[in-house]
Structure 1
């Protein structure tokens, strides 16, 4: 019972009208701090469409030459990707030139830049017809605009690359279909030509088998009917063998055509699923397409061997006919035409065998490269500006628990109110500055902070510490203990709205609207500049704002102390509390 009475007596201290709301404020302050920070971090990815980012499209369209019966194909991958970005609106895209995008990135108006370089479509076109390096997209970021904006940009770049891959896969699927359709037509033409040459005549009798001839070696001229008969018999045997090879070639070509159709369908499924959010499905379809491409590639080797064999046999047949009289010249010319078709088919294999690199292209048809301006290099170095500024604020809050905001005896003396205010601020400002600078020196010495401008960083942190101490000091004199709670709440709001972690545009609308007017915003940007690099204008802006804030806080403190020199009965006779039992 005595314990409860002692506790109740302690609460009696707040019966005074000026103090009765203090317990409620002390309880509300930590709740407000946590809620302010929690709301700012609540699903920032849902508001990324408000974050500005630049897109530079330097690409120009190109045209693939006509292939067989297919018309020329226009490839404009850069414009297609630009249309995709405009349609998705995942960020607040600014489509501009390279120089303007670089200016916006350096001054913090955009958080990253995506560059579609000149020749992007040409690389896409070359990758469709021959094994070459894939087209490259470039991402440019700036850690001086916020360390966490770079991981966000990298994540978005992965999505942009998937969109570009969808475009390239669509071109690839159409190109494979066209090339293999042309190859199939050539193989069918070969078969028809061979059948026309080897069709048996009713009046011909099967000749005896002569000695084989060497391919590509011209035979001696024919001087007798017997030699003519032997040469024709050998030519007939060679033509029959060539016909058999062409039939096998036609069968293998049909098999390969079926396999390519399957590869094309798999490639199209992979392209269609690239827009899907189901990454497992996308990877499965890409793997299936890659497997089909490798199977088709094995068929390419078989058909290449058969075409080479048919070419050798055609050369042998031509050598058999080289010594025939003028009456067989027509057959010789037809065989030369057949040989030309063989060579055309052989040349078509590398074009159709984008297959040789299809499995690679389906896995990674587009690559990316990243360039970071003013790199933070490590997470600690990237978040160090926030930590150093918070050091000053936390030191001021703790020091106010032990330091008097002013000397009461000075109010009755001959000192001016401004002098009294400055004397009360000086110990707090000195302690806050010393703690902040010590923290910086430790980070620089033992954590290899490696600031780009160490002396300027020291000066900026000292000025920030003085401004922080002056603000906390003024609130303490104005509201007492409630002023300390209000300072903590204001500090939490400034941290949440300044873009300390995420771009302020990804915060709720109130945070984003007040961001340009908060002293913490300017101080944070200036400290990032002195540590990792950036435009010097941010440092001078922050210095002016902090100096003005310090003067305003000190002036407000002096006005409050001057008013306290006017005594009233209330101040002369404080409330009498009951005796503690």
Structure 2
């Protein structure tokens, strides 16, 4: 008969009556009841602190402080109460001192926070020469639950931030007066800086346009200067030629006038003579018509020339020497003026270039000024936002920043996220061990008929272990599904977690089978003892280094230490080498337990009288 047939025979023993079937179902559900319920109730207790009642007693009587000749009333206690109302870390109960003391004794409150009467007075002293430290009292009662006190202590730093925020606002009020006015003033200054920045931006655009226009003006002015220089050179040449001629005419003008008059008389007489000749020769009928016609043409040309000569003479006679001298002077002034124009055009070009450079410097300066105005606006806005409001609702979200300006940047390579998920490896391991402990209270460790038959000891031992291994595997799967679907375990490596859980239950049932087979009822007690030793040495709750030396020695010797270590890796992540080491250790425990069970079975096949009555039975 094979071990599997022996296992099937053992399971068939539970057929036929509902109680026997219910017993098998019960041992399958034992890990679920133990591990599942415990993880459910402890999954995220720190996420529900707002349901823990904590009393707040405000006995502060307020105080006044003189700031710049003005008296300002402050009340740090009221500020703190308003702060706590806005951020409900706990279920705050605002009561009197008598109610708080009675409630702490009766267990109605897990902690009492008391703001003493001189709270604001001590805060007001911070603005003087003899400052005193204010105090807030925390009262606990471990009789109401030590763990509850620990949970309250874990958020004490956050609570301290809330208190410090209220103190910060009150202290700032004593130093600076009305923080609202300070905030408004800074906000208005920031707005003005923004308007200044906008105005500078407009001026910056104008300066850029001015620089561009002056650039064009500089180019044009330089072209004008070059043209004026050319004109001046041309005038110099013209005057150099014309002025000697004019001066010579002025010096000889009287003679020229006399000659012109004589030329005019000669032309007039010549014209008259031609007219007389024509009258004499061409009035007769016998005159030659062709010759007279040619003569008339000469007379007409002579008239035209005479008119020109007469006009020229008139002009010469009307022009005086002074006029010519003035013309000579005018040419000199023209030459000087052209030179002045050329010089002025050069100066204009130089001035335009200088103005262009100045406009560029202005644009650069305005850019720097705008940057400074923007920085000023940003700084003023930041300063305004940094001033805490006297309204606690505005400060609740900033309590941590105000109360603790310096924070610690913490990273976690493999976060567990919740309290229950962090403890899941420990409680899953415990639940699987409990299955082995409880399973063999119902299952038989060995088939008696097979023990008396010819079958070898190894198949008999394995056949006695397989029913527990099979039911334990079902139990491990049920536990995993319940924790995954019901609580959201969401392991990093689901298949590895399931596979490891199956190997764990196979090993733990093999060990439970061995102890129960070897020691009977006493084996169950030994399994309980082993459970207690593993609970304290596995490092599931506290680092093993913080435990007494005895448990540190046990830690590497017992299998649950390795199970917890490996499940942490498959659930939250970590080094794969830890899982490999656990697999080797569990395999060694599994094979060793089955080997020892085979030896125990072999020893049981030799009957002794003392086996008829076991020394301890349950």
TM-score band by shorter chain is 0.3 to 0.5
- Which one has the bigger helix percentage? 2
TM-score normalised to the size of structure 1? 0.40
TM-score normalised to the size of structure 2? 0.38
Greater C-alpha radius of gyration: 2
